[in-house]
Structure 1
Amino acid sequence: MLSKARRLFKDLFTLNDVKRPWHLSFIAALCVGLPAIIGAALEQFPQGMLASLGAMVVLYMPNTRTAHRIVTLSLCSFGFIFCFMVGSLSTFVSWLPPFALSLAMFLVVIMSRYYLLPPPGSFFFVLVTTISIAMPFDLPSLPTNIGLLAIGGMTSCVACFVYSLLTGANTLPKTEIKLDARVNAIVLEALFVSVFVGGSYGIALALQMNNPYWVPISCAAILQGATFRQVWHRKIHRIMGTLVGMLLASAIFFFHPNAWVLAFLILILQFAIEMLIAKNYGYAVIFITPLTVIMAEVTNTQVSPALLLEYRIFDIVFGSIIGFVGGTIFHKTQWLTSLEKKMDERKSLSLLLSRKKD
């Protein structure tokens, strides 16, 4: 028992020996940080932040040839726009956002799983949806906001195109498009995850939490774990990293930083995240937390550090617990597998009957 605990502790805090080019982290940080810096220069920082949110598609750049990279990022940009639109329109009715979040999550999980989209998977689509839900409903501003999001995505596409040419991406092996043919399993997983993520937001609204969008974000982050061990690790990493990260975020907001400071902090934090994310998720969360706080709290830089620390930690821990419960059910029970087998059997029977009729 003691040896298992020691091994768990070691796994949680060990930096994995994953080599990643520094320039890959730099281009990701530049894509996310540059729109915010331009926004600060034009005294339009909130608009710059929306473009930075769209620029986060750069995090989905695969290690493939240039053409495949640009197609992947372009499709992810369309996904961001769709999620933002669904989230924004749902705020017209107070009880609709949890269902809109579930719908967006359902479709995103199906697409990301079917096309085997690598990490961060569906996470940033959830982030875009929840941030759009957190924004006040303003229908006339919706086209402008979508345009800013699209500009950020296009900026990342152009930057990645130039980066790919400079680093010789076309010398990489030809990309084979792989698909996950287990459609029933994908649909069941998407339905399960969407119910938990949307449900977590519904619970947070019912409990009248302050800015409850942190709950589904944390829930989705935990459910990203491919195995129960990863779910458990992510829960601990998420909570511990958040505690340290919220202290860092509170320290940042304590000095009431201006738009220029926040813009450059976004660039620095994103670079640190990219350098650490493959080595240890918990260490990366320390920097992910203040970055998401800056993006979510951009309209209120005068927020009280004490209240920021109190509300966000509770929301994130609460969402992580819901995500852990969902991950436990998903990985430790067989009912989804049994349901998948029944669906496959019915499909096979239907095909057999149709062939007999022919």
Structure 2
Amino acid sequence: MNISGKLDRTRRVVLADLVALRPAQGTRRGAIRAAVTMTTMLTGLAVAGRLDWSIYATFGAFTCVYGGSRPRPERWRTQAFLGLLLTAAVASGALVGLSDQRRWLAIPVVALWATAGAVLSDRYSWRPPGPLFVVFAVATCSAIPTTPPVVLIALGLAALTAAFAVLLGVLEARWLPGRSWRPPPPGLPPPPAHRQRIQAIRCAVAVAIAGLISTTAGIPHPYWAMIAAVVPLAARPLRAQLVRGVHRTLGTLVGLAVAAALLVAPLPVAVTIALIAVLQGTAELLVIRNYGLALVAITPLSLLSMQLANPQPVPALLVDRLVETLIGVAVGLVVAIVTRDRTVPFVDGYAPR
């Protein structure tokens, strides 16, 4: 096949991947657990008058997205491990927040967490794969000014919410077993050891470069760029990484339009919490089917959560999110292209992870 034929085939398969809806059986229960966890946590903090602490509990709630959608005998162990890891990431970010130089200090700290998350994800076959959530937790929390008592509060809230998420999963498996449990179909085999090392290094490099660019430019939320930089790298091989990067960009664009409509409305706290729960559940229903569609819910979910904890001017917030997403995705894709596995065919080597 000549070059023009290869390019045409590449364009067709990438377009097909962008609009594909993959099967995702059993996601409804996971979506309900995620929505219940988020609602319970936010409601409790609202009653206590401490919604400014909600960001720390939010990352503990991400525990429920791990371990698969179907109840399995060992799922609670997977979720407990990830809950501990997410709690440690929150605490690490809160410690960085003690420093007046937290914007710069966050870059190496988040890069180290990206390395650790990539290594552990490959070793234990996390689902969803990659270091995205631990990077999300430490990067976001590092941007918030803290004091020693707040660090302890952050640690406690993340741990408490993670424990609640694990408990919901255990209760579901015991009281709502549904169909007889069957082992999940085999996924992709772990990559070779040298590719695992490359994956860990490139996640760290992508985070560091994105963080340096956005921090040097003086953009108010450099952690968004660091988070976006690891998004393409969670997939393998290059074809899947390109699709994931485009999904992140287009999904964020549409999600920002949804977020703008929600953020300009003077919503009561109770309505905002309900919307966050609905968006969380929607994201869980869509993320396996099509990551781009999931971003339409994830983007307003993230911004609503931020405004609930720390209100900011909406126009600047939307612009910052877009700019930093573009920076992060661009960096992640460049790193992916430069470090790609040239032994894997671009078109024929695709498999979602």
Give TM-score, length-normalised by structure 1.
Answer: 0.84
Residues matched between the structures, number: 333
Give the equivalent residue in structure 2 for 1:353: none
Question: SS of 2:308's equivalent?
Answer: coil
Q: Is the 8 A contact 1:70 1:161 kept in 2?
A: yes
Code of the residue aligned with 1:140 in structure 2: it is P
Are positions 1:52 and 2:61 aligned together?
no
Contact 1:58/1:157 (<8 A) preserved: yes
CA positional deviation for 1:333: 5.1
> 1:248 aligned to 2:258?
yes
Asked if residue 12 in structure 1 is aligned to residue 52 in structure 2, the reply is no
List aligned pairs for 1:195-210, cutoff 5 A.
195-210=205-220
| More displaced 10-residue stretch of structure 1: 215-224 or 44-53 | 44-53
The 8 Å contact of residues 52 and 149 in structure 1, kept in 2 or not, is answered as yes
Q: CA deviation at 1:280?
A: 0.9
1:140 aligns with 2:149: yes
Within 5 Å, which residues of 2 pair with 1:1-358?
Answer: 5-62=11-68, 66-91=72-97, 92=99, 94=101, 95-168=104-177, 171-173=180-182, 180=190, 182-301=192-311, 303-331=312-340
CA distance in 2 between counterparts of 1:243 and 1:267 reads 21
Tell me how far 1:154 sits from its aligned partner: 0.6
Q: Distance in 2 between matches of 1:240 and 1:66?
A: 35
Cα distance in 1, alignment partners of residues 328 and 33 from structure 2: 31
- Structure 1 residue 144: deviation in Å? 1.0
- Checking the alignment, whether the CA contact within 8 Å between 2:238 and 2:340 is kept in structure 1 is yes
Unaligned runs of 5+ in 1: 335-358
Deviations 1:125-182, CA, capped at 9 Å, x for gaps = 111011111111322210111100101101101111101112328952579xx99594
Q: Structure 1 vs Structure 2: percent identity of aligned residues?
A: 22
Aligned 8 A contact 1:65 1:174 in 2: no
Offset at residue 294 of structure 1 (A) = 2.4
Alpha carbons 1:277, 1:283 under 8 Å: kept: yes
**Unaligned stretches of 5+ in structure 2?**
1-6, 344-353
* 1:46–1:201 distance in 2 versus 1, CA, 3 Å: same
How far off its partner does 1:113 sit?
1.0
Q: 1:98 to 1:64 in 2, by over 3 A?
A: same
- Normalised to the residue count of structure 2, the TM-score between the two structures is 0.86
Deviation at residue 75 of structure 1 after TM alignment: 0.8
Is the contact made by 1:39 and 1:45 (CA closer than 8 Å) also made in structure 2? Answer: yes
- Name the CA distance, whole Å, in 1 between partners of 2:262 and 2:210: 28
2:84 counterpart letter in structure 1: F
